[in-house]
Amino acid sequence: MSDIKIAKNHGHLWGRRDLVTRAGWFATLATLAVATGGFVRLLFRRAPLEPPSVFHAGTIADYQPGKVSDRFVRAWRVFIVHDGERLFALQAKCTHLGCTPRWYGLETKFKCPCHGSGFHADGVNFEGPAPRPLERVKIWQDSAGQIWADVDKRFEYPRRDVPDAFVAVRGGGKASG
Ligand code: FES
């Protein structure tokens, strides 16, 4: 009787021990593959290692003269303004109590929904309880013409004509501020 049982076990394609061994090898190989993939990605990453406060804001061509872009407000809380000569980044944070202002293109002003503060397109406050203009965020253009901003580096009014507080766009937008 026992001879018959032994014969049956050997007849299985994969015994229990084989399955456990194969599962172990599979797990090991899968772990190795993931680790190798991560290492290779690290070696060949295309973008330079940027601090988490830095984001890519496209190129000057992405912005229209005289317009305010709110495309980075949700992710980075930053408005990008093209005043015709310069590109600058305004922190979308009201200087009263920190609410997020909105841009009203027809009225050409930022308006805070919390207590009604208003700011001109250049960020200067003109109505409501906000005590000072919106802060500017560091912005620059790299040698490849790409625009970057760093939300951790800010310029309080009136520091707006200093390097990295704007990008000059005259003459095709090659010079940075
Ligand atoms: S938080 Fe903007 S007006 Fe008060």
Closest ligand 1 atom, residue 129 Cα: 3
Closest residue to atom 4 of ligand 1, CA basis: 115
Range name among 28-42, 86-100, 110-124, 136-150 with the lowest pLDDT average: 28-42
145 lines ligand 1 (CB under 6 A): no
Number of domains making up the chain:
1
- 130 in a domain, yes or no? yes
Q: Does ligand 1 have an atom closer than 6 angstroms to the CB of 128?
A: yes
Ligand 1 pocket test: pick from 91, 110, 117 the residue with the most ligand atoms within 8 Å of its Cβ. 117
Q: What are the DSSP E strand ranges found in the chain?
A: 54-56, 67-72, 78-82, 86-91, 102-104, 109-111, 118-119, 125-127, 136-141, 147-155, 167-168
Condensed to tens digits (0 to 9), the pLDDT of residues 54-98 reads 999 999 999 999 999 999 999 999 999 999 999 999 999 999 999
For residue 18, being part of any structural domain is answered with no
> How do residues 95-125 score in pLDDT, each as one tens digit?
999 999 999 999 999 999 999 999 999 999 9
Q: Which residue has the tokens 């005590």?
A: 131
Answer whether residue 2 is part of any domain.
no
Exposure b/e, 23-50, CB count within 10 A at least 16 = b: eeeeeeeeeeeeeeeeeeeeeeeeeeee
Whether residue 103 is contained in a domain is answered as yes
> Token match 């093209």: residue?
82
- The ligand 1 atom at the shortest distance from the C-alpha of residue 97 is 1
- The pLDDT of residue 91: 97
| Ligand 1 neighbourhood includes 137 CB (under 6 angstroms) | no
Residue-averaged pLDDT of the chain: 84
150 Cα: distance to centroid of ligand 1 (angstroms): 24
Domain membership of residue 39 (yes or no) is no
- Asked whether 130 lines ligand 1 (CB < 6 A), one says yes
CA of 37 to the centre of ligand 1 (A): 48
pLDDT on residue 25: 76
Residue 72 placed within a domain = yes
Task: Check whether 15 has a pLDDT greater than 90.
Answer: no
Closest ligand 1 atom, CA of 113?
Answer: 2
| CATH label of the domain that carries residue 121 | 2.102.10.10
**Ligand 1 pocket, residue 100 CB under 6 Å:** no
Could you tell me the residue range of the domain that residue 104 belongs to? 54-176
Question: Is 157 part of any domain?
Answer: yes
Cα 124 to middle of ligand 1, angstroms: 14
